[in-house]
Amino acid sequence: MKKNLVLSPLIIKGKHSLPVIQGGMGVRISTWQCARAVALTGGIGILSGTAIHIIIARLLQLGDPGGHLKRAFDAFPFQETAKKMYKKYFISQGKREDEKFRDPEMFSLSPSRELIELTVLANFAEVFLAKEGHDGIIGINYMEKIQMPHIYSFFGAMLAGVDIVTAGAGIPIQFPSILEDLAEGKAVEYRIDVTGAAPREFSMQFDPKDFFSPHAIPKLSKPDFFPIISSTVLAKTLAKKLLGKIKGFVIEKSLAGGHNAPPRDKKSFNERGEPIYGPKDEVDLSVIKTLGIPYILAGGYSNPEKANQAFRDGAVAIQAGTIFQYSEDSGLDPRLRSIAKSMAFQGKLDVLTSGVSPTGYPFKIALIPGTLSDPAVYVNRPRICDLGFLREPYKKEDGSVGYRCSAEPINAYVKKGGKEEDCQDKVCLCTCLMANASLSQRRAEGYIEPPLVTSGDDTSFIHSLMSGPDDSYNVEDAIMFILGKIN
């Protein structure tokens, strides 16, 4: 790496960092262990904020491996809540292998007090463990599309001192003001998108003082906010409406794994059925520079050549996901990780930009035998919706709110006013992403929910970090490679 391309360290909340940010991937792929390892190496570690309350409940039922959650719960400032939740879900020897996980209720616009407390506690625990024992930078990523847990999740993460909040999969225009209000000890409100309703007709409110003693709530620090964008128009809109409230943009290209922004031309597909991205889908960096907001480039920058190009293009850092997902520090199931890495090393890992996500966004899937990318596995999976992260709230004829998902049983979805064609090829991402993280749900008669691995398009880094298909690497190796410190 040329010396004149090494930027000054990023400064986040007074802390210095290398110009490498780890993406907040999937469900429990960007775990506290992974984010902590990134921060200890000098980068910025980002946690995945999706479904943390389900993850924590399931880990407790596995016996709290390593006792880490007990340590985090003991540090939670509201011990009555921590003890109640530990008692409810903890199984000392772990549940039987053939036993089903007992999950909390699904989120709605009127969650129970217990679900709210669990969500606050879970976000606190994940951030606490990631930050434990060092002064590096830890952030958390949320999907704007999964709106109902946000206000409770923010509070829990801020209780643990999270440094950064990133957000994509939607327009996170409400985030900064809510983070500011929570830092000032105010009650907050989040407007919820409800199909068939007026824009501001439904919302959720949260006042921490109603749940926790007003005398015990510590002073909170507002985390820096980094929206994830994929269009110049959205950047300009956010810069105008959130003037002075954005620390930087994460500009994500369509090469990135997980959910991608849809292309402007929604009717053009290649011979594999993948959406076609063209020049109009590229973010115009010359325009971004005029906004005066620093930016980070993401999607295909996991090698020194591309990272150097990003810095030449004015980026203050690059964000990478796939390279960390396949490291031995990630939360990806070790067997799946081994298979995917081996296939990538041999040039056999095919990544498809698909329409399987109930969100309607393109979603990248790695075509791995035995996962839901395999047609035989997909066809044999019963359509079940019992976690509901991606449920769509809709307004019923009587004015109340119902919930539906295009990955639920087709008859149920249609009965709720959904279109049958919207169900075609849809996958329950909630259950398969849990399976990716070794937390598969068990069903009747021994059925186990299968996984579905997502991946970025570019896995060329594998040959620089592995000497053979059975080799492995860690987070530090990945960061040193991106920065040109190893060949």
Average pLDDT over residues 131-149: 95
Cα 243 to chain center, whole Å?
25
Q: Is the pLDDT of residue 264 over 90?
A: no
Average pLDDT over residues 249-276: 85
Q: CB-based contacts of 117: which residues, under 8 Å, 6+ apart? A: 81, 84, 85, 211
Q: Is the pLDDT of residue 6 over 60?
A: no
What phi and psi values does residue 59 have, to the nearest 5 degrees? -65, -40
Domain locations along the chain: 3-333+467-482
Nearest to 351 by CA among 272, 466, 294: 272
| The domain over range 3-333+467-482 is classified in CATH as 3.40.1400 | no
Q: For residue range 28-45, what is the model confidence (pLDDT) as tens digits?
A: 999 999 999 999 999 999
Q: For residue range 419-461, what is the model confidence (pLDDT) as tens digits?
A: 999 999 999 999 999 999 999 999 987 899 999 999 998 999 9
H, E, C per residue of 49-74: CCCHHHHHHHHHHCCCHHHHHHHHHH
Segment holding 122, helix H or strand E: helix 113-131
Average pLDDT over residues 396-417: 95
Length of the chain: 487
pLDDT band (50, 70, 90) for residue 9: low
Average pLDDT over residues 80-95: 96
Average pLDDT over residues 140-154: 96
Cα 81 to chain center, whole Å?
25
Q: Is the pLDDT of residue 5 over 60?
A: no
Q: For residue range 41-65, what is the model confidence (pLDDT) as tens digits?
A: 999 999 999 999 999 999 999 999 9
Report yes or no: 238 and 247 within 8 Å, Cβ to Cβ: no
Q: What share of the chain is helix, strand, coil (3-state, %, to 5)?
A: 35, 15, 50
Report yes or no: 385 and 405 within 8 Å, Cβ to Cβ: yes
How many other CB atoms are found less than 10 A from the CB of residue 201? 13
pLDDT band (50, 70, 90) for residue 1: very low
* pLDDT for position 15: 79
Nearest to 47 by CA among 76, 16, 22, 64: 22
Average pLDDT over residues 259-286: 85
Q: How far apart are CA 407 and CA 382, in angstroms?
A: 10
